[in-house]
Amino acid sequence: MKSRLKTGQKVQGAEIVCESLLRHGVSVIFGYPGGANIPIYDALYKYPELKHVLVRHEQGAAHAAEGYAWATGRPGVCFTTSGPGATNLVTGLADAMLDSIPMVCLTGQVPSKMLGTDAFQEADVLGVTLPVTKHNYLVTGAGDIAPSIYEAFHLATAGRPGPVVVDITKDAQANYAEFAEPEIMPEFNKKIKTDATADELDSLALLLNNAEKPLIIAGHGVLLSGDGKSLLKVAESQDIPVTLTQLGLSAIPHDHPLFMGMPGMHGAVSANRAPLEADVILALGMRFHDRVTGKVSAYAPQAKIIHIDIDPSELGKNVVPEIAIVGDVKTILNRLLPKLKKRKNPLWLDRFKLWKKEEEEKVINPELNADILKSAAVINLLSKETRGLATIVADVGQNQMYAAKYYCYRKYNSHFTSGGLGTMGFALPAGMGAKMADPDREVWIVIGDGGIQMTLSELATIAQEKLDIKIALLNNNYLGMVRQWQELFYKGNYSQVRLKNPDFQKLSEGFGIKSEKADNLNSAGQAIKNARDFKGPYLIEFVVAADENVFPMLPAGAGIDEMIISKADMK
């Protein structure tokens, strides 16, 4: 983008903010103005290249920035004012931190002379956000704005990505300083280890070449590395079955014969049974999250584990590997490939066929062929209508699991969701961010009736921006996942999970968004067609079974060997 300022030109700090963003290739900002950042908004008037999206709540700004980053791989950017504006970002920052999403968040702060006085709308933003960011800054001088923003963009993407906060006092925004392109800091030239050593590669290849039952578990790190093709080449060279964690979904096409589903609490039978029989597990860009492993002591005790991750702190944190390699997944896999012996493994793959058949008979077929409309059938319909090529931005709860299990993702990096933090309300603003990042994407937000009411106000932003986003609202009038646990493990004591919902059609109409309701398979299919044919935002309320449960599942604290495949298997 064309720069506006010349080196040595004296301007207000607020203009330096805009110029710094422009020079970092920023084109979209999600934010909300207030007293402590109004100078930045005044300067923004001079920078029409920086499109600002006025969200309705600062949490929405953070999640929208996450969706933008998911879709582009570049940091999402958001603005807020001081005090409550900044603290409203915290959930989004924590979400991005756990899921390795790059973000740069610029918050206004009270004038520097008023810091620590409990001034109006003052909050210790550094103290509040320190645990949920890679780094944060308090900028009190206009001359420090450009260097701080420069460092923030570097840190947000270096190594394992994450969010960075730059808190800028109001006087720093208003005062004048000479603009200068920051020099590269010497410490930024220090290279992060991205490749395996020759010895590490040889050890890795030796284990895989001698494995009889190898298994690949790939996570979000594969998507962040930017290439699922390398993963497929390694898997295909030795017929290695691949499972993808929730945040790794869409790294390879889900209709590929080597894809064996998602592991974990509500994962596939094959994906959870395989670690109990595999002799070598190649773990790529995943962190052995408790939702994947279940009880760690019971997780794959017989397997030799190879763990590759860009973040050294993840290696050995939850599961102790035989080989631990710090590095970039794509780089290492491409160097590993020539060292692998090409071979077929029909007997091992036959085991997966049996596991898949068991799940189809006990779970999938009953879900898809029920007499009443079920969420699984809705997502299956959506998958067929879009041919698995849409981007699905899933919320949290039962709807999230159905989106993970019943949509056949055929397009790389097309599944976005809140994994580590599990933030209800994530999907509505995140889907908005994803669409603004890539208008050519067909974006479907899959969300529950509980989650949508967490960030419902962002429907106004979607309408104002005239975004061509489709919303699949799975309405069972319950907080479905909590209700499921209460049914199965708390004697059916349904405490505070029944929802008295609004009329979602009238609500949509109030926001100026077209909508319709579907309560059976035929109307559901037609509604999806209608939404896809319509240019603009469209909400479909799917009235699904109130008492539906997501299976298979692992009870809390159980090992993967204690997986419950269907309700009939419960004792």
User: How many other CB atoms sit within 10 Å of the CB of residue 40?
Assistant: 27
Residue 352 annotated as catalytic: no
- Asked if pLDDT for residue 446 goes beyond 60, the answer is yes
The predicted pLDDT at position 227 comes to: 82
Q: Which of 134, 170, 330, 411 is catalytic?
A: 170
pLDDT bin (cut points 50, 70, 90) of residue 1 is: low
**Total-model pTM:** 0.96
Q: What is the DSSP letter of 552?
A: S
Q: Which of 9, 46, 114, 121 is catalytic?
A: 121
Q: Which of 15, 19, 58, 151 is catalytic?
A: 58
* 101-129 tens-digit pLDDT: 999 999 999 999 998 999 999 999 999 99
- Asked if pLDDT for residue 449 goes beyond 90, the answer is yes
List where CATH 3.40.50.970 sits in the chain: 10-189, 371-544
CB 477 within 8 A of CB 499: yes
CB 414 within 8 A of CB 457: no
Angle between helices 58-72 and 427-437 (to 10 degrees): 50
Among residues 306, 300, 293, 294, which one has the least CA distance to residue 333?
306
- Cβ neighbors of 412 (< 8 A, separation 6 or more) are 223, 228, 250, 251
The predicted pLDDT at position 192 comes to: 79
Please provide residue 559's backbone torsions phi and psi, each rounded to the nearest 5 degrees. -85, 165
Residue 432 annotated as catalytic: no
pLDDT bin (cut points 50, 70, 90) of residue 492 is: very high
Domain at 198-351: CATH architecture: 3-Layer(aba) Sandwich (3.40)
Residue 481 annotated as catalytic: yes
Q: Which of 97, 481, 553, 563 is catalytic?
A: 481
* 230-256 tens-digit pLDDT: 999 999 999 999 999 999 999 999 999
Which CATH fold would you assign to the domain 10-189? Rossmann fold (3.40.50)
Residue 120 annotated as catalytic: yes
Rounded mean pLDDT of 205-219? 97
The predicted pLDDT at position 189 comes to: 64
User: How many other CB atoms sit within 10 Å of the CB of residue 248?
Assistant: 27
* 529-562 tens-digit pLDDT: 999 999 999 999 999 999 999 999 998 889 999 9
CB 245 within 8 A of CB 290: no
Which CATH fold would you assign to the domain 371-544? Rossmann fold (3.40.50)
List where CATH 3.40.50.1220 sits in the chain: 198-351
**Rounded CA Rg of the chain:** 24
User: How many other CB atoms sit within 10 Å of the CB of residue 117?
Assistant: 10
DSSP secondary structure string, 191-244?
PPP-S--HHHHHHHHHHHHT-SSEEEEE-HHHHHHT-HHHHHHHHHHHT--EEE
Q: Which of 49, 120, 317, 384 is catalytic?
A: 120
* 134-146 tens-digit pLDDT: 999 999 999 999 9
- Cis? peptide before 366, omega within 30° of 0: no
